[in-house]
Amino acid sequence: MLKRFTRAEKSWIFYDWANSAQSAIIAAIILPIFFKSVATGSGVPDVDATAYWGYATSIGTLICAVCAPLLGALGDVRGYKKRLFTFFVLVGVTGTALLAFTGDWRLMLLFYILSTLGFNGSCVFYDGFLNDVTTAERMDMVSTYGYGLGYIGGSTIPLVIALALIQFGGAIGIDTATATRFSFLLTAAWWLLFTIPMLKNVEQKYGVAPDPHFVRQTLRRLGGTLRDIVSHRALAMFLIAYFFYIDGVGTIIHMATVFGDSCGLGSMDMMLVLLVVQIVAFPFAILYGVLARRVGARTMILVGIATYLVVCVVGIRLATLKDFLILAVLVGTAQGGIQALSRSYFGKIVPEERSNEFFGFFDVFGKFSAVVGPALFGLVAQATGVTHYGVLAVMAMFALGGVLLLVGVPRSMERMH
């Protein structure tokens, strides 16, 4: 399946395969449940344990969101992109591995923040490498294959191994806590192992020459990039539209477990639902890339937004596991495609030599999806007294993002110079 790609493209794609284990096992599925059991078992009230998890998620995400533009500018200096990428990978892998060696919920939150920082920080430079490994004509295909393989590989294979050991480990004398800790070590090893091709075969092609006045140069370029974004109306509109619709995607990802719990689903039911999303997302992410070559990435992003609007309508009336499985299939058809094409579309409209600077701002909008969206979901749910009505806030995000993309961004945008 990967024969059509160059060695650099394949190596870049495999980092999606590598880091997706962290997003599935650490951020979304196994660690949140394990942390809550450890915290409540230590006497922390259930509501406080949930709040502490939310605070840790926001802290790790906010640090990267605030620093992303500066990191992006640093990454565009020749010789710095891979060094910074490697540093954040090692921070994330270390934080993930340390989770296996503590039973203290406070240390667990600290190591989770380290894991989150490493994941988000490395993605700033990973996204910026897209211009280094491929051409504008091939970006949609490369990006969607990355997300596709990330879902079926990194998000599914280690997750299935971990869930099987947690569920059936007792038959071979492995208790649930030990199996869960093993899943954290598995995630760290998987992340590090499949990052090796990226470290070995991907090099920075574009960048700016280092300057003796390094800090001043970086800040000057950062200001110049911001002015370029503001002055380029279509680019600015795309980023604003992206903020709203990716906020909707992020809210659904981060609130799925809590929402399912409020509907009476057990932890294993929720794991099954989330696993279905990963499996369905694999072929559809690739399909989005194929269709984007025919009708354009912007059109397929709009298709993804429309699909999510349907998801929101269906979500208001969810009640049973069957309903959730249907919803999981719908989410899976759009989730990987809309994320991958947003990344590649943005990569095609920014200058190669400053791609990391621009992706730094791109990642700011993406990272805040873990902050703004869930808060709006909670506010609407509390104001109405009905948890399901929190979905209305998500629906509004998708609708606004779709309108801004449709009206403010032309079907074809020239690469900036």
The Cα–Cα gap between 416 and 184 comes to 42
Given a cut of 50, is residue 414 above it in pLDDT?
no
- Residue 377 structure tokens: 């979901």
Q: Which residue has the higher pLDDT, 199 or 172?
A: 199
pLDDT at position 266, please? 73
77 phi and psi, to 5 degrees?
A: -75, 130
pLDDT in tens, 342-377: 999 998 888 777 777 788 788 777 766 656 777 777
The CATH architecture annotation of domain 7-408 reads: Up-down Bundle (1.20)
* Residue pair 370/246 in contact by the 8 Å Cβ criterion: no
So what's the pLDDT on residue 262?
A: 63
Say what the pLDDT of residue 417 is: 42
pLDDT digits (tens, 9 = 90+) for 323-350: 888 888 999 999 889 999 999 999 888 8
Whole-number pLDDT of residue 406: 93
pLDDT in tens, 102-136: 999 999 999 999 999 999 899 989 988 998 999 98
% residues pLDDT > 90 (the chain): 40
Residue with structure tokens 């998000």?
A: 155
> In the numeric block, which tokens belong to residue 67?
């620093």
What's the rounded Cα separation, in Å, for the pair 146 and 9? 9
Task: Give the pLDDT score at 214.
Answer: 62
Q: Is the pLDDT of residue 415 over 60?
A: no
Taking the C-alpha atoms of residue 112 and residue 53, their distance in angstroms, rounded to an integer, is 9
Model's pTM, two decimal places? 0.80
pLDDT at residue 416 is higher than 60: no
CA 257, 96, 51 angle in degrees (round to 5)? 40
Collect all residues with Cβ–Cβ distance below 8 Å to 202 and sequence separation of at least 6: 8, 11, 12, 82, 129, 132, 133
What pLDDT was estimated at residue 33?
Answer: 82
pLDDT of 281 strictly over 50: yes
Mean pLDDT score of the chain:
86
* Percent of the chain clearing pLDDT 70 (strictly above): 93
- The full set of domain ranges for the chain reads 7-408
Mean pLDDT confidence for 250-262? 70
Provide the pLDDT confidence category of residue 254 given band limits of 50, 70 and 90: low
pLDDT grade for 250, boundaries at 50, 70 and 90 = confident
Report the alpha-carbon angle 337-232-367, nearest 5. 45
Token look-up 């903020």 returns 243
- The stretch 289-302 carries a mean pLDDT of 93
Stretch 295-317: mean pLDDT, rounded?
A: 92
3-state SS of the chain is: CCCCCCHHHHHHHHHHHHHHHHHHHHHHCHHHHHHHHHHHHCCCCHHHHHHHHHHHHHHHHHHHHHHHHHHHHHHCECCCHHHHHHHHHHHHHHHHHHHHHCCCHHHHHHHHHHHHHHHHHHHHHHHHCHHHHCCHHHHHHHHHHHHHHHHHHHCCHHHHHHHHHHHHHHHHCCCHHHHHHHHHHHHHHHHHHCCHHHHHHCCCCCCECCCCCHHHHHHHHHHHHHHHHHHCHHHHHHHHHHHHHHHHHHHHHHHHHHHHHHCCCCHHHHHHHHHHHHHHHHHHHHHHHHHHHHHCHHHHHHHHHHHHHHHHHHHCCCCCHHHHHHHHHHHHHHHHHHHHHHHHHHHHCCCHHHHHHHHHHHHHHHHHHHCHHHHHHHHHHHHHCCHHHHHHHHHHHHHHHHHHHHHHCCCCCCCCC
